Structure 1
Amino acid sequence: MQKALINSILLSGGNYYYDQAVILRSGIIENVIPEAEVPDEMIRIDLKGDWLCPGFIDLQVMGAGGALFGGVPSVEYLAIMEHELLRQGVTTFLPTVSTNAPEIMEQAIASAVAYRKVAIGNFLGLHLEGPYINPKYRGAHPESLIHKASISEVKNRIRNAAGEIKMITLAPELQDADVLDFLQHQKIVVAIGHSGATYEEAIAFFSGEIKTATHLFNGMAPMHHRTPGLIPAIFRERPFTSIVADGIHVSFAMLELAKKLLGDRLYLISDAATLTTTGIYQHTFKGDHYVTVAENGQEVLSGSALTMLRALQNCVIHAGIALPEAVNMATLYPAQVLGLATEIGLIAPGYAANLVAFDQHYNCSAVFFKGNLVEA
């Protein structure tokens, strides 16, 4: 059955669209037409003048609603994350599994494979952030569980995942060439992160196949004028690069600078954690972020308290990024990272009917997933 979303201002592809109706049918956007042309007999949903944009795409989120999937992986936790994130307007996400014991990593993969049969559908697959990272830039990752990748372990993990691993963050400077070559030929986004790569190593990593960088400025050496490292290489090569726009992981001044330098290659992630007292990542809420206690007994920043809508708001209010462009950073650009930009990330005919409405105060007012209104 067709229905028309009316009385909204569309934000899509970096533009504003006024007085347009979005026609939904069978889970897709059938058309976008002037409101005056909507047939009288069609069901109309009045969005009361709010903004309407594509559903948010979060490629790095550790937990939501009290479910930290990477800590104690289960199908139950994936279900909680799907429902909670959908309520927040996240219509595509990668639950992120940080460095953990091998049996926990395998449990996460097995849970993802099992859950696929009953998933709502905003769970797209897994992002493995570790354990193949540089211990010097580990952040909250436990040093004792970080290790170099072996080709046999990587192949077994990919095989067991049956397509559920969509993204891997690693430190390429520590990996053998056969591992990197194998991953490059899988349908997996390979990202550099938690890395001590030199400038030359990073430039080499970004050459050839499109690769990405994980949470700019975090888990990497700061810039130095005599020893340029990963950050200047990112600014030169301009790969797709994620950033945590909470003003804590990255100051808003640096967010603004990164946007000027990277333009349409910079995209938003929440890197959100959730309160938990189980597993090796026991996150404590500190008002506007999460911390955990590392193996050395020191408290360390371990996750944000962002939603994707709040990250978008921060870009507009604190970094001077135009609203339509901030929307692109949460929708179109991550869709391009995934290779899905012909299916999600825009409001256009033939695209998935995954949409978010929000008011002028950045409160989420409606979410549509596969054309259906999501109950709060």
Structure 2
Amino acid sequence: MLTALYNTIIVSNGNLTAGKAVILKAGKIDAIVNEAEIPADAERINLNLALLAPGLIDLQIYGAGGSLFGGLPSTQALQQMETTLLQQGCTGFLATVATNSDEVVLKAIAAAKAYRSKSIGNFLGLHLEGPYLNAARKGAHPAKYIKKATLNEVKHWIELANGEIKMITLAPELQDQEVIDYLHQQNIILSSGHSDATYVQGKAFLNKPVQAVTHLYNAMPPMHHREPGIIPAIFEERPYTSIVADGIHVNFTMIALAKRQLGNKLFLITDAVTEATEGTYQHQFTGDRYTMPDGTLSGSALTMLNAVKNCVNKVGIDMPEAINMATLYPAQLAALTSKGKVEAGYDADLIIFDPEFNFLSSVLNGTLHHTNKINPII
């Protein structure tokens, strides 16, 4: 069966395209055609000039819908994340686990494996942010759980996870080369984060083979005219670099600076959490942000679409490029070769939103999903 999404503006690969219809078939984008060429047997869905873009991809999020998977992992929390995030246009995410006890990490691995067969399709796997961090830049991560990686432990977790661990944030300057090499050989995305690396250390490991940086500016040495730190090394080596575009974790002026320096390597994450009253991470919402009970800034209250909106309205990034930062670039980093564009042959994972960045609908695996509040499909 064919489905035709028409009367829309397509946002993909840095471009805006009108007058075209997107033809869906068997969970894929079958073709992009002129509206006059929509196949006669296709079910026609009028998007009423709404914007149609690739589904948003969040490579770092801890919880959603009131379930904090990152601190209290379970299959139920993953199910809640999938449901909630799909209602925000996020058709792909890595459920993230912060520095914690070994027991919690193992619970997260077990939950991911148990949930895989039940997933509706937007849960892509796990991102371990820690415990192999630098305590000097711990942020909201508890120092008592931070440790240096051992090859035996890393191998055990990777083998036990059976492919579910996709990304690990660590402090490369503290790890043995054999650990870095092993993880790279397993096709795990290695991201430098909560690191106290110097400029020279950053130059030595960025893209060699650490291919990413976690939440730019946060939990790393600030730039200084005598001690440049890792940030200038990031700007020079240009690994894929995530940023939290909420104006709280990072000032919008600094996001603009990063965009000028990193171009198509800067991508958006939410780093989002939910409130929790038990476990290691008892996040408290204080109006526009989450903090730990001691007041330390923790995860964000962002959605991916609001991150895109902030990049356009607050940073001055063109909307098609801001969409790339939430779709194409994370897809490229994660080697999701069939996601991140609205093109023939790509997965039919899409977001539909209005010019004011209000979410309208999602398409996942070719199936339309929408909220009860807003339904533009007539």
SS at match of 1:63: coil
1:172 aligns with 2:172: yes
Contact 2:109–2:164 (CA under 8 A) maintained in structure 1: yes
Equivalent residue letter for 2:111: S
Corresponding residue of 2:360: 365
Q: CA deviation at 1:207?
A: 3.9
Corresponding residue of 1:222: 222
Contact 2:191–2:210 (CA under 8 A) maintained in structure 1: no
Q: CA deviation at 1:200?
A: 1.1
Corresponding residue of 1:60: 60
Corresponding residue of 1:350: 345
Written as runs of structure 1 = structure 2, the 5 A alignment for 1:114-263 is 114-209=114-209, 211-263=211-263
SS at match of 2:231: helix
1:300 aligns with 2:308: no
SS at match of 1:365: strand
In structure 2, how many angstroms separate the alpha carbons of the residues matched to 1:42 and 1:168?
43
Q: CA deviation at 1:125?
A: 0.3
In structure 2, how many angstroms separate the alpha carbons of the residues matched to 1:79 and 1:97?
16
Question: CA deviation digits over 1:251-288, x for unaligned, max 9?
Answer: 00001111011000000001111111121101111122
Corresponding residue of 1:339: 335
1:279 aligns with 2:279: yes
Q: CA deviation at 1:375?
A: 3.8
Equivalent residue letter for 1:323: M
Question: CA deviation digits over 1:146-203, x for unaligned, max 9?
Answer: 0111111101010110000000000011111111111111121000000001111111
In structure 1, how many angstroms separate the alpha carbons of the residues matched to 2:207 and 2:333?
16
Taking structure 1 as the reference length, the TM-score comes to: 0.97
- RMSD between aligned residues: 0.9
**Identity level (%):** 55
Contact 2:207–2:239 (CA under 8 A) maintained in structure 1: no
SS at match of 1:117: helix
In structure 1, how many angstroms separate the alpha carbons of the residues matched to 2:283 and 2:209?
36
Question: CA deviation digits over 1:6-27, x for unaligned, max 9?
Answer: 1110000000111110000000
Equivalent residue letter for 1:60: Q
Equivalent residue letter for 1:251: N
Question: CA deviation digits over 1:268-312, x for unaligned, max 9?
Answer: 00111111112110111112211112xxxx311111110000000
SS at match of 2:298: strand
Q: CA deviation at 1:210?
A: 5.8
Equivalent residue letter for 1:307: T
In structure 1, how many angstroms separate the alpha carbons of the residues matched to 2:47 and 2:207?
45
SS at match of 2:45: strand
Say how many residue pairs are matched.
Answer: 371
Corresponding residue of 1:289: 289
SS at match of 2:279: coil
Q: CA deviation at 1:212?
A: 0.4
Corresponding residue of 1:325: 321
Structure 1, unaligned stretches of length 5 or more? none
In structure 1, how many angstroms separate the alpha carbons of the residues matched to 2:214 and 2:39?
46
Q: CA deviation at 1:39?
A: 2.9
SS at match of 1:67: coil
Equivalent residue letter for 1:241: T
Cα 1:375–1:365 shift into 2, 3 Å: closer
